[in-house]
Structure 1
Amino acid sequence: MWADLLPVGRDAATGGYHRFAWTPPELECRAWFLDEARRRALAVEHDPNGNMIAWWRPDGTEGREAVLTGSHLDSVPGGGAFDGPLGVVSAFAAVDLLRRRGVTPARPIGIGVFVEEEGARFGVACLGSRLLAGAIDPERARGLTDAEGRTFAEVMHAAGLDPQAIGPDEGLLARIGCYVELHVEQGRALHEPVGVASAIVPHGRWRFDFAGEGNHAGTTLLTDRRDPMLPFAGMVLAAREAAQRNGTVATVGKVRVEPGGVNAIASAVTAWLDARGPSDADVRRTVAEIDAAARAAAVAHRVGVDLAEESYSAVVDFDHALRDRLGKALGGVPVLPTGAGHDAGVLSARIPAAMLFVRNPTGISHAPAESAETGDCLAGVEALATVLADLAGGYGS
């Protein structure tokens, strides 16, 4: 399975992945998922938001609360191979392992794939799970645009889905008893093959729009310029300084400059800020300080600036009973928080959720060097199979 997925959407020059929601590489990954489900005779359910679930429903499990696992198949621009797909491949492998051992679950087990988890195409992370859980207004979601100006609604329609039907699926949520997501660890905090997540720290995304005046790079005096690149640069430096003061992290990793000519002063700059920290207050204070610095720099250079919050997730403290049950089933593996957002964090507002982490030896993520050792991945499959058997009331040999 891993070998089949590895080349899909991979940049031959950098080794990074470009699997954005409903683009050809991501659609190929979705087709792979459907093929793997068919090979195992798993029934696939499509919710109105583009999410997919492959169900293992042995006789006698109808009407019982299900155990859901899985992750996502999309990527950030130039991302790594493991972020998302490891959880999906491991879920299929865990089901295979349980079947080989003659274990039959007493509750349905589902393998889910959530759309647009990274937010790389439409700007809102965990969009599929947010829609399912009712954490984003469907009208706002329909109007989200990609870099080419195509709306989420238009892209969904082109994929054969009805954008007017998106939103919370209360019937589906009512059928799920809990969700366990396996994911590669996105740092260097895990020193054993497998761990359990305790919490997700607060995090969000903000958009800064700087409006200046386009002009000629060679004939416009410095004193006559209204260059939005200057307050933008000040904002980037302020982000580092504010993060250091408040014990948070703040990153500007995406910027759009108009008109983008080498010999032209920019007329507008749009920049996206990602901020995360140990508490809501720390993150909010960091963003407020960055905003104040950006506005002061904008005034100094006669440039306009607007700030918009595109998404925010407060601290997620995973269900303690479920978290402790996973730890007990796995014999006391490490428990650690994470600064990365996940579908499990979004869904935790509606259903008990938990996460398993697989060790990442480099600590690098969202980049081609993201990695996990084969032995650790297999330990993750064993751990997930153990957890699924425990939660689903498995019986047999």
Structure 2
Amino acid sequence: MKLRRPPSFGPLEAVASKLGALEALATPHGVDRYLELVHPMLTVRELRAVVTEVDRSTADSVTLTLRPTRQWRGFRAGQFVQISIDIDGVRHTRSYSPSCSQYRADGRIEITVKAHPEGVVSQYLHTNAKPGLVLGLSQANGTFRLPDERPERLVLISGGSGITPVLSMLRTLSDEGHAGDIVFLHYAFTEADVAHLAELRGLAARHPNVRLVLAYTKQAAGGDLHGLFDETHLAEVAPWYAGDAQTYLCGPPGLMATIREHYAAKGIEETLHTEEFTPPVLAPLDGDVSGTVTFGDTVVENSGATLLEQAEAAGLAPEYGCRMGICFTCTKVKTSGCTRNVLTGELHTEPDTEVQLCISAPVGDVAIDL
């Protein structure tokens, strides 16, 4: 099945499509800066989205339905998009995975945002989002997605807010009429913490090949499983998982680390596909941290933290999206010095090369064009 083109925004977009020639006249701001004064969804270049529905189905999450502008090219189930919003005059960008099917008929997308205690954007959206709110939107990106040839057997595992990309996969497979075995295993504190619970139960009820398994880590009753992940959980609900099945996993670091270790121990790690949604843990450098980090006109002592963290500690506000190296929003030019990729340990010594601030730590003196 092909991705469906989202419906046109109407006469406003018809006008916008004819205004490309005005770009040169609008320099230095670009024609979109003037068009947004007429209507914030009237754009020539920029991709945006307007909130059309708001659902606060759990106490600490909000699901937003978004209608993109005409530039939207669709997405593959499991991918993520970047959402941008101005809060108190500062532009913030975050990455979220659509939770809807990639075949949604009206071309709209759903994102579910968990309100983290320290989350500026998530707290703002949870409290203030309402229909009519216009957000910046990126095209979809990411390699966490189903293969074109769908596996005959699938295990979809999620925990907490990691439910969104695998729920998108389940909805997409359901729209395709996929007949293979699917086990959807979700971990949550209690039943009240399960986002999209009614949708999940409805999908399982309508599709006999889908088995919904809810595992509650703090609720002793009501779920199908209880407690943290244990290899007996998979043996019970998907005894064929170590055979010809493919597993897709997204969740908190503890859950993901445990499942990775289990799959590696069984020698089936190639069947496990994962998506991170929390920043990587920074491994300490060998030896003492030394040197300075130069961000344009700002010079700070090297603390050993990532370049993004050190820039923020210095009072700077570089743009970023995911904080985990998947969206490239925070990419800047390193003019001199050596940096270490905190995910791989790889060192980068070449001058005038692009580095991702969120996953790069300085080794000695480093200068960044910020």
**TM-score clears 0.5:** no
Q: Which has the higher helix share?
A: 1
Q: Which has the higher strand share?
A: 2
More contact order relative to length (CA 8 Å, sep ≥ 6): 1
